[in-house]
Structure 1
């Protein structure tokens, strides 16, 4: 693998730098518990997921869009009969997620510290601008990054634009992240490098079940493993 050409390493944020998906899974459980008088848990959870996917083109990714989907799904589940107190509880779920402390992924800070001595580091993530900026500041990791990129989605077009902005070639760019769908496949498709570090839970929308065989791809179990080859 021609890693000697790498000049810039980009890191995904949620579930690569800090814990994120765990909060969404807990919120989904709370949603189903609040609506259990209207619909069985499995059905309510599926309806919520479908609502989220349907809203992505309008709302995008993040906690605030998720909270709107909670409320919309509850309206459907309850057939419009839920009390206003339930709406407030759903809003409170979203606020609690926004106010949650930032929990760093094990080994990520020492990895960034060491890599920043040799490479330009970039945080490249999708989601709500205000929320992602808040988490970055609270994380204490901002000082390691040369550039911050927060986009509505991660596609080949977005990555090509980022590479151009960084004034490098595709084969000089490496992306590190937990999502095969967002962090790996589109990066490989533009001729760049992509390293996968799985998180213990992944949103169903981000799941990819195909095996990846590509010379620019590698999978690791933890962030600090990167220091062995970079």
Structure 2
């Protein structure tokens, strides 16, 4: 289903996994959209469009549909699913739907935010983040038992929510000099990662890992400069 006559814009930045999951949802639905790139590394260079659309958090992504802004990636995906009915993303079963909504933000905090913190923490805090990341990966491994995708036989809400893992996790591992996604420890997650990268609306949209590594190295350097110095 296309989006003729419907103005759809995605406000984001090339490096953000949160932005990519929204883009994948739009591509799955066949919705044409305009991507509006933002400079997120310098707070003073964020566009008036972003500040007007998301004045509270001043964060990406933002979806603009008919000029109306929707913020927070997981909420945006649900909006997309309810607005464009073809190719459903969320499960139709009420219980499975509730569980998908439960797991997505929890894994975001445990895994994605934990990995980001790992790139610039040390000592006891680093060990704490590492344990949390390992626990999240084990949860994902258990969730994939007996399934091709998190959504079953086809890509669903959780696949799109966790779709950043195949590329972004590898880049973050390289920056933090830690190997997490071991195929022997997490065989199902490893298989899923390879399958997800081959999905038609994902395959041609992933940035090379080395570009993400360079970005996260710069992010790590900037965060370490902000960290309080030990006396």
Q: State the TM-score bracket (shorter-chain normalisation).
A: 0.3 to 0.5
> Which of the two has higher C-alpha Rg?
1
Name which structure has the greater RCO, CA cutoff 8 Å, separation 6+: 1
The alignment's TM-score, normalised by the length of structure 1, stands at 0.34
TM-score (norm 2): 0.34
